[in-house]
Structures are given as structure tokens and as C-alpha cells.
Structure 1
Amino acid sequence: MKKTALFPGSFDPFTLGHQAIVEDGLKIFDRIVVGIGSNSEKNGLLTVENRKRLIEDLYGADDRVTVAVYSELTGEFCRQIGANFLLRGMRNTVDYEYERNMMVVNQMLFPEITTVLLFTPPRYVAISSSIIRELIAFGGDPTGLMPDNIDIKNYL
């Protein structure tokens, strides 16, 4: 039986840290679905469609990685796509506390889904989507914070 994991997030934009979690996750899982949570109340840097396109452009040649947009509870979406695992990344203790609480609630609501937490590699722990958004808002260049072959200007 193939092991499928959902890697949920807003990915606005997708960072080197996100990429590292996907790459490490592929050592464990047969398939990873990068799930972009759609929240119509949030206005981000990139549209949901462009976030999806950016990640698809990055992983287009790897059929083990797919990208989907969802708006329901993450556990419900796992059921829809046949994922028994939630893949999450942690940079620090703040992330740990948040992820632990989410895991507890998800286990109560969706006992068949196992949360797998992977540590972000140390060289990427300071990188976050919010830092990249702020950098871009002030005219900065996010090169070195995002995957090498992604030019953010193509998605703005």
C-alpha cells in the first residue's frame, strides 16, 4: 500500500524550508500532496492559483509530488485524497507547540491520520514566508530564500 502524506500550508510563497521538508518527506512517503489551504478572507502576496503554479513548476517532473487547493478541514481533505499522514515542518519551539496542539486536535477528530513532524534544516530555520513577503514589499530580492529555479516575479 502506498504511503501518501498531505503537506498542508499557505505557501505564500513556497520557501527553501518548504522544499527541504518535501525532499525529506519523499524519503519516507511514496507520494506527497502539497495542499494549499484556501482562505478567502486572507489577501496574500500571491494568488492561490499562482502559489499552485509555482509549486507545480518546481515539481512538475516528479510524479511523486502533486499540488492541490482545498478549503475544508485539513483532516477532511486527507480523507478525500486518501492520505493517512500529515507532513509538517518545524523550525523552532514555537512551531513545536503549535504543531503539537494541532496534532492532538486532529487525532481526536481524525484518528486514522498520523502527523509526522520533520525538522527544518538549520540553514533554513530563519526563513519564513512572512519574511519573504515583507522583503518583497520593500523591494528586496528573495534570491537565496526560495528554490533556485523560481523567479518570484513570474508569479506576482
Structure 2
Amino acid sequence: MTIAVCPGSFDPITLGHLDVIRRGARLFDEVVVGVATNTSKTAVLEVAERVELASRAVADLPGVRVVEVPGLLVDLCREIGATVLLKGLRGGADYDAELPMALMNRHLTGIETVFVPADRSVAHIASSLVKDVARHGGQIADLVPPGVAEALQARLAGS
């Protein structure tokens, strides 16, 4: 059984993320969506809320579950028996950023990273852009799964 981890901060989860997760679910026996804290970013949504929103977004996908990444990603992979990291790429800049991480993860644990190119219909969607649009009152419902726009807008209104 091949278990893949699809890691990210998912702040918030977007339709681009869901595209990668859905496609990964067809490739692997199980896909674990790992919601992590990225110390180089300031999150808008709390980790528990991101886990909940992601869980709702993937509820209809067999073989997909969502967990929090409590520490190092490679430690989670060891704990659950994952042998693959699943990452989406929107373009060359994503590849340039992801390749060193993939090589480090393989160096640390032997885990391989599989890159899935973004579908053109969602390649323009990035969590940072979604948050920026939402901060300025723009509509984001067509960029995120149901319930995410409301949660993000409520959080931004309270900050």
C-alpha cells in the first residue's frame, strides 16, 4: 500500500490544492493531507481551522484524510508509513522552490517527491493571492471549496 503525504500550510485550502489532492488520490492508495505551520509565513487561519476546512473539502474523496503536521514533515511520514510526498507545481518558480526541499527530504529519509503539474484552470490560484483578494473585499468563492470563503472573510473581519 502506497501512502502519499500532500503537505502545505493550506491557509486557506484552494481549488488548486484540491486538484492536486484529487489527482493524487487516483495515483496512490492513500493520500494524507498534512496541514503544517510555515514559520516563514503569518497564518490568517489557526491550524485547527485549516484542518477542519481541509477535512470538509476532501470528505467526498475515498482514501484521503487530513492531519496536522506537529513537527518535521519527515517525522510524520515515518509515523504513518508514507513513502511519497505529493506536491503541485504551478510553474518554474514553484519547481525552483520545491526541488531543494525534495532533495533534503530524500536525503533525510529516502522519501521521494512526486510533482503534479497544476491544471490550467487552477494554476493561477495561490493561497496568498486568495487572502489578498479577500482582504480587499473581493469575491473568492470561485477559488476555494465551499465554506472556506466565509471562514476566511470572518477571520479577516475580526482582525
Equivalent residue number for residue 35 of structure 1: 34
Equivalent residue number for residue 65 of structure 2: 66
Contact 1:25 1:32 in 2 (8 A): yes
Equivalent residue number for residue 21 of structure 1: 20
Asked whether 1:52 is paired with 2:56, we answer no
Q: RMSD value over aligned CA atoms?
A: 1.7
**Any gaps of 5 or more consecutive residues in structure 2?**
none
Which structure 2 residues correspond to residues 117-136 of structure 1 after superposition, within 5 A? 117-136=115-134
Q: Deviation of residue 40 (structure 1)?
A: 6.7
Q: How many residues align?
A: 153
Deviations 1:75-107 (A, max 9, x none): 111001111110000001010111111111111
**Any gaps of 5 or more consecutive residues in structure 1?**
none
Higher helix share: 2
Contact 2:2 2:28 in 1 (8 A): yes
Whole-angstrom distance in 1 between the partners of 2:102 and 2:69: 19
Whole-angstrom distance in 1 between the partners of 2:123 and 2:60: 27
Residues 48/57 of structure 1: CA separation in 2 closer, same or farther (3 Å cut): same
What percentage of residue pairs aligned between the two structures are identical? 33
Whole-angstrom distance in 1 between the partners of 2:39 and 2:73: 16
The farther-off stretch of 59-68 and 83-92 is 59-68
Deviations 1:14-48 (A, max 9, x none): 01110000011011011111001125785322111
Question: TM-score with structure 2 length normalisation?
Answer: 0.89
Contact 2:53 2:148 in 1 (8 A): no
SS in 1 for 2:71: coil
Question: TM-score with structure 1 length normalisation?
Answer: 0.90
